A and B are shown apart, each in its own frame.
Chain A
């Protein structure tokens, strides 16, 4: 399996990151990653490895689609009407989206916790970060938020 192991090492990180984006669940993303590579191993004689990782990503995407179908997400969300947002965004939303004080990862953690009401564990699972990282990012973002809005008197 030496050749297969080398292919695995070359692509596993990008396949895992993609799987995580597909399902937003670290454990499930690991499962999908393992299943895609297992499929590759079984069909290694048929697949041109120079075409990887696109083939692996397609396998992951198909399996993720099956996962969401089993979750019956269409019934839950598809009938929800797309509502257009008011033209004027609130000042706080503008700051969250545009502030150069925040790195993307700070912004994401802030949005998910203080607007979408997620726990640190949920944020960690959805983003692939550790809970310790999430806690650190939130601490920084919250500190920036407090300083900005106290200073502005908002």
Chain B
């Protein structure tokens, strides 16, 4: 029996985990004080308050377990259904018409009449006061505008890399099946070459689990997502490609991660990729040094 069960635990799960009961308990103990997955995932997007952001980022960097938790849930499975997409759009339309920018509804309903009365009082007082005081220039109060991030200008252009394969790809076969890697990825690669990135992304995602050791699949999936204007999805795929640690694509991955990070609104992460590339001797080094300088 596990030391602590979720509230929806089923008896069947006792049977299925019986062979590793002690190991599971030890694993639970080992990760008892880990940061919650919600915090880790938020750190991965840079969405935490500053100090905790540093702590959580270090926890991801220093633990393969935490790293897997963050990376694995970013596989693009989560989508809004068509119904949810329509519902949200209807809500945006409704809110856009109902509330002026920066003013919550209760403001208009409750405070506007009160302010009207107060303004009338101020007007009367001002008229009486102006009869006695010298004229002054009244400047309008500055309008309060919610801070909005400036539209970013991208330093890094998006070029389409040609298809290349590692030596391993030429001999790779799927486990337990007769197909070769080349056969399985052909639909994705053909779509990619033709510029049909939507089909390419779907096909690459489909074969990714058949060849988890392939660097080509997550790399070209990442590029396809960049062209589909999905920078966070591209970052996920390219980071997966990086974990395969194949030298053939190392520099390409660094460059396109920089492109994706910038488009995902994370210039610091893009800069870090460029700095790393700049210090190397790849074909991207000079471009990376020039681009890194333009970031400053």
Physical interaction between A and B = yes
Count CB-based A-B contacts (< 8 Å).
Answer: 253
Residue B79 interfacial (CB < 8 Å) = yes
Pick the contact of A61 from B2, B27, B46, B230 — CB < 8 Å?
B46
Question: Judging by beta carbons under 8 Å apart, are B52 and A73 in contact?
Answer: yes
B267 — nearest CB in chain A belongs to which residue? Answer: A54
Q: How far is the CB of A93 from the nearest CB of chain B, in Å?
A: 6
Q: Which residues of B contact A146 (CB under 8 A)?
A: 16-17, 19
B103 to chain A, nearest CB (A): 11
Interface size on B, residues (CB 8 A): 84
B151 within 8 A of A: yes
Q: Do the beta carbons of B91 and A23 come within 8 Å of each other? A: no
Instruction: Determine whether the beta carbon of A68 is less than 8 Å from that of B52.
Output: yes
How far does the alpha carbon of A73 sit from the alpha carbon of B41 in the complex, in Å? 14
Contacts of A102-143 to chain B: CB distance below 8 A: 103-105, 107-108, 111-122, 126-129, 133, 142-143
Which residues of A (13-68) have their CB < 8 Å from a CB of B? 13-14, 16-18, 20-26, 30, 33-34, 37-39, 41-43, 46-48, 51-55, 57-62, 64-65, 68
Query: How close is A51's CB to chain B, nearest CB, in angstroms?
Result: 4
Q: Please give the residue numbers on chain B whose beta carbons come within 8 Å of chain A beta carbons, in ascending order.
A: 2, 4-8, 13, 16-17, 19-20, 23-24, 26-28, 30-31, 33-39, 41-42, 44-49, 51-52, 55-56, 58-59, 62-65, 68-69, 71-80, 84-85, 88-89, 91-93, 95-96, 101, 148-149, 151-154, 175, 209, 212-213, 229-233, 262-265
